[in-house]
Every structure is written in C-alpha cells, then in structure tokens.
Structure 1
Amino acid sequence: MTSAAASSSSSLSLRFINTPNPFFSPTPNFPLFTHFSTRRPSLNSTLLIQGHRRGDKDGDGSVPRKKNTTQMYGFGSNDESGTQIPTQVQSIVEGSGSVMVSEFKPVPDVDYLQELLAIQQQGPRAIGFFGTRNMGFLHQELIEILSYAMVITKNHIYTSGASGTNAAVIRGALRAEKPELLTVILPQSLKKQPPESQELLSKVKNVIEKPYNDHLPLIEASRLCNMDIISHVQQVICFAFHDSRLLMDTCQEAKNLRKIVTLFYLD
C-alpha cells in the first residue's frame, strides 16, 4: 500500500510537472527569438519582442548580435554613442540637413539682390544704352522698339550719338514724342560726328557736347563719354560682341559701381 501510494504520488507529480504552463505557450502569438549556447548567456543579451533588439537568430554563435531599431515615438537613441535619431516627422519638417544648413551661411549675391529690387521697383528710372556700330537692320528695329517702350513707360534714356545702336535708340525714343526723356551725350563736339548722325541729332532736344575732348583719340573720348553716361543712370543696357573691348570695359565699370547691367551678345 505504501509503495503503491508512493508510486501514485510520483506519477501525479510527474504529470503535474509536464502540464503546460498556461502563461507560457510553446506556440506564442508573438515572434519569439532565442538561441542555444553552451556558454553562459551574458547579462547584456536581452530578449526583446516585436521589432525591438533581439539576439542572433542564426544559432551558430555564442554572443548574440544586437540590432538597432528606430522607436515609434519620440527620439530613437543609440545607447553606445548617445546620439539621437530624428523621427520621420522631424526629417520631413526640419530636413535631413538642417544642422548643416544652420552652420553654413553663404554670402548673399549683391548683384542679384539689386537686380531683384530694380525689377520690383515700379517707378521710372534712368537707363543708359550702349552698343556697337556694326549692327544689322533687324537688330536695329528691335532696339528701336525697346527704346520706344522704355520712353512711353516714363523712363529717361541716355545714349551717345554714334551710328548703329545709338542711332536706333534715338529713333525709337523720338517716336515716343517725349523729347524731355531723351538725353544724348557726345564724346566730342557735334561737328566731329558723321553727317548722318548730325542730321539725326538735330531732332534731339537734349544734346550734351564735349568740345574739350576734340584733341583726344575717338576711343579715349568714347571711354570718357561712357563713364559720364554711367554716372547719370541706374541701369545699363548694352548690345555688343564678345570682342568689343570698349563695351566690355564699360559694362564692367558699371558693375563695379553697382549698376544693373543687362548685356546682349550679338554673336
């Protein structure tokens, strides 16, 4: 009896031990990752559930590999380096390069800002026209239209008295029938100009001569004349070829004086 009772008690205890734990199912609903090793597991190895840090799932190493994952809320952090990983919302709002942008501050383009300001200004302004003498008929017609449009919008036109570009500017401004908005500055005296230019200049109300430069070569007198025109205007419009040395120097001087320069190349 005693032996049978002991056997029964042992049988019951074995059955009790083999009874499945209701709180630890052998087939859990969540993914369970672990591995077997002959070594004692490290205190740093952690068993995490559903997308957090987990050990090596290959089963061939004794030291579990750690995998960094981004948390869903707030900042995800790296425990070893202490750095914070921005969330997707912060990356969209602030941008991935927000730190670099705050540190790098480029120098503003003064020429671009001045040109933008001149475009936004709605009032009339003084405009100087420069250009080559060697210009085709179609180009001259376009310049006449541009000059006419500038004058009827109450801009004051400054130019010189040579043939080509200057003559086209004068003809276009005269068509607008506002003689007070056209000023022609000559490099030398009127008698030094070609006959066809003298005939056209006779129709202009405001003509400024420079007889004290008659002794200078025309190239030097023209350079001084261009500088004088630049001093009266806020914007420069130039029509030139790339090898037009005098006109290129004139545009560069206007830029140095912070004038708005619009340069049209004919080649």
Structure 2
Amino acid sequence: MSDLAIRPASPVGDLLVMVRRATRLTMRNGDALISSLALPIMLMLLFVYLFGGAINTGTEYVTYVVPGVITLCASFGASLTAPIVTNDMTNGIVDRFRSMDVRGTAVLGGHVFASAGRNLVATTLVLGVGFLIGFRPSASLLDWLAVAGILLVAIVALSWAAAAVGLLAKTPEAANGFTFFVMFLPYPSSAFVPVETMPSWIHGFADNQPFTPLIEALRGLLLDKPVGNSPWIALAWYGGILAVAVLATGRLFKRRTA
C-alpha cells in the first residue's frame, strides 16, 4: 500500500508523506540527479586544472574555488524544484491530493525538504572531491556548523523560490529557465575570481547580489579567516528571499487550484 493510500491525521503527517514522495521522485529521475551531482564537480575540475594556473587569487586556486562551487552546486540543485513543481501542477496529481484534503503547503514543503536533503548530499560529494584534489579547510566544529546552517538557509530559500517559479510556469520546459538564471548568478560574484579583478562597471552588482556574501561567508568560515558581516548579509538576503517566496507560493497555489 502506498503512502498516499491512507490519509495522515495531521499536517505534519501530510508533510512527511510528501517529503517521502518527493524523495522517491528524485531517485527515479536519474538524469536530473546525475546532472545535479556531476555538473558542479566537472566545473570544479575544469576551473582548477584548466584555468586555475592562470588565475591569481593569492592562494592555491582549489582553496579559493571550492566554496564557490559548493554554492553553485546548492543553487543549481535547488533550482531543479521548479520543473518538478510545474509537472505536479500539470499532470493532475495535485487535484488528487486536494480531494484527500492534503494542504498545498505540505505538497510544496515536501519538494523543498527533499531538495534540501538532495543538495546536502550533493554538497558533501563536492567537498569530498575537493579534498581529493587538494582542498584543506581549517574550520573548527563551530565553523562547520555555521557553514551548514547558512548553506541550509540558502538552499531552502532558493528551493521555495524555485517552487514559486514552478507555480508560475505552464510547462516544465518553461520552468527550466529558472535553472539557467540561478546558474548564471554565481559567475558575476566572488565564486571563481576576486570581484576586484572584474571590470569596474560590474563591481556594484557583483558586490551586492545574494551569492557574493554567501560565498565569502563560506570561504571565511571554512578557511578560518575573518568573515566580517558576510554571514549576516547572506542570512538577510536568503531570509528575505524565503519570506517572499513562501508568501508568493501560498497565493500562487490558491490561484492555480481555484
């Protein structure tokens, strides 16, 4: 008997069922799973071994680039929530859930929590590959916990934003456009090169977009260097994104299911 055959008795039960369902969908979608794991690793190897020798960051390039690749991995994986949500909205399964009195927050929350779990696994894999090619963090236990907390907030916020895009899009193909947008944003940031090496006209954007403070916070914490106010700026960015995304998904879900 499937998880959905018996209605859970509480909103928490609904959410747990939807998390299990979303996790199973992820495991069945081999192409998306492989892409979310392989792409960041391929980019890291590409930058370290092909471009790293020509980029001066004041330290070993692998040490500089791994925090940026972790962020790219997390953001790319979170963006995959968009086409998954769109597919749910267009294949009739949501109507079945509503007939069973399953709340929209449980359906969307299931996708978000599954995304968080998927991305934490992918991030761990990227870190493991980073260790193999020479990344040597000097973070304390508290630093590692701070890294995990900040990264989790960012993943959840981006996953909720992706869910909102998934509710707006009419087809999974259209929702995939969010993936390209999220993949682009880490490039004009401090992910792969210092911002000061970029043309001056792009400094304002690179310094004041959500990925730069996140990357600088992760880099400082992992390498036991001063982080300044980067963690708080990152939390403010992603806390704001999360709040807007949660409100937006609530309204968009009601509109799509009215």
Q: Which has the higher contact order (CA 8 A, sep 6+)?
A: 2
Larger relative helix fraction: 2
Whether the TM-score (by the shorter chain) exceeds 0.5 is no
**Structure with max Cα Rg:** 1
Q: TM-score, normalised by structure 2?
A: 0.24
Q: TM-score, normalised by structure 1?
A: 0.23
